[in-house]
Structure 1
Amino acid sequence: MPLRKSKKFDRNQALRRYEKNRRRNLLAEPGEHNFAIVLDHLKAGFNVPKIFRSAGAFGAAEVHLVNIGPFDPAPAKGAFKTVPARFHETFETCYQALISDGYTLYTLEADKGEMLHQVAFPEECAFIFGHEERGLSFDPEDYPEIRKLTIPQYGQIESLNVSVAASIVMYEYIRQHGGEPRKSVPKNEPRRVMDR
């Protein structure tokens, strides 16, 4: 069987797709849960749209992007059009917006906080994820009210991919705050008609 040729990345096409989806994002409605995701200076690449995809799946209220440039929204599988995005130049403006909206803020840091599964999250939470290599763009000591979380790990790997970590945190929030998940019929499976 011959190998498939991979599509060549077209930056201009990705930028056009980004701008089109950013305009559509203005119509996005908050999800059913009162948590927000903050992406603080992440690389404008694969992780950002993957986090949008998870935010859409878990019903996030919004995603805040702090100093993140254009990215290809295709890996988000449409979530960039449905999860409200808030754009900020600095963390301080993002912080002020979240505090004024009544959010309790959490950073996720390896080995530096309360164990994720041991924290009882309030209804309105914002989870902050820093750059994949450099971490947070701000000094956490300047924001002492922001609580620190860590995901317990048991193997030899030092850290998780940021999009994986974000999904774990979103799941834990949903596990605590519940709600009925959407019922869906898998594609290619016929719908059953109930006998009356």
Structure 2
Amino acid sequence: MPVGVGPHPLPWPDDPRLDPELLAGGDTRNVVDAYRYWRREAIVADLDPRRHEFSVAIENFGHDANIGTVVRTANAFGARSVHIVGRRRWNRRGAMVTDRYQHLHHHPDIAGLAEVVRAQHAVLVAVDNLPGAVPLETCNLPRRSVLLFGQESSGLTDEARSAAGLAVSIAQFGSTRSINVGVAAGIVMHAWIRRHADLSTAW
């Protein structure tokens, strides 16, 4: 089944947000229909006032392939920004090009991220099955949150755990010790949406 739309019929709309190359050749990007034929910069500008008051951060010390999935989900839920902690390079394949529409920031260490969180008057929320973590199912996530996730294999570093102002865990009922970090990120972001988002603004 074809994805997207073909060339726009003539005459083209007189709209500076539209990209002449896309109008001429068609738009098969992974964007909602409202943004068909729009320039990337115009899409970002339109998204910015719609973004929510939570951000997402993930530690990148082992080239975790799940980072792309986390970025894609952050885009779907309208995260204000995404923070990569540790290595600057990460596997973008899972992002499905959605990183082009997000505000991405890099921090060499947790201390750099924590400084930004304090400046934003936000709460750094560690997501991990840690002793003393508050069950996500009973926790009211702060409106201004930075949701922090660790590596798939080892979870959050000790530095990340120490810097967090709140730790939450996801209830599990099976035999596995943990769940995929990309799945965990989606669960926690959706918990924030259920608590704080204006659902009338969803596409």
TM class by shorter chain equals 0.7 to 0.9
User: Could you tell me which of 82, 93, 104 is aligned with 1:74?
Assistant: 93
Q: Percent identity?
A: 24
Answer yes or no: is 1:32 the counterpart of 2:21.
Answer: no
Between the aligned partners of 1:66 and 1:57, the Cα distance in structure 2 is: 21
Between the aligned partners of 2:122 and 2:78, the Cα distance in structure 1 is: 16
**CA 88–121 in structure 1, closer or farther in 2 if over 3 Å, else same:** same
Q: Is the 8 A contact 1:41 1:137 kept in 2?
A: no
Alpha-carbon deviation of 1:140?
5.5
Letter in 2 for 1:135: G
Q: Find the counterpart in structure 2 of residue 89 from structure 1.
A: 108
Count of residue pairs the alignment pairs up: 158
User: Could you tell me which of 43, 68, 71 is aligned with 1:52?
Assistant: 71
The alignment's TM-score, normalised by the length of structure 1, stands at 0.72
Q: How does 1:101-140 map to 2 (within 5 A)?
A: 101-112=120-131, 113-139=133-159
Alpha-carbon deviation of 1:119?
1.1
**CA 65–119 in structure 1, closer or farther in 2 if over 3 Å, else same:** same
Q: Which runs of 5+ in 1 are unaligned?
A: 1-23, 184-196
Alpha-carbon deviation of 1:77?
1.8
Alpha-carbon deviation of 1:141?
6.5
Alpha-carbon deviation of 1:44?
2.3
Q: Which runs of 5+ in 2 are unaligned?
A: 1-39
**CA 138–79 in structure 1, closer or farther in 2 if over 3 Å, else same:** same
Q: CA RMSD in A?
A: 2.3
User: Could you tell me which of 82, 99, 104 is aligned with 2:118?
Assistant: 99
Q: Find the counterpart in structure 2 of residue 9 from structure 1.
A: none
Alpha-carbon deviation of 1:133?
1.9
Q: How does 1:16-31 map to 2 (within 5 A)?
A: 28=44, 30=48
**CA 96–160 in structure 1, closer or farther in 2 if over 3 Å, else same:** same
Secondary structure, aligned partner of 2:111: helix
**CA 93–159 in structure 1, closer or farther in 2 if over 3 Å, else same:** same
Between the aligned partners of 1:41 and 1:71, the Cα distance in structure 2 is: 7
Answer yes or no: is 1:164 the counterpart of 2:164.
Answer: no
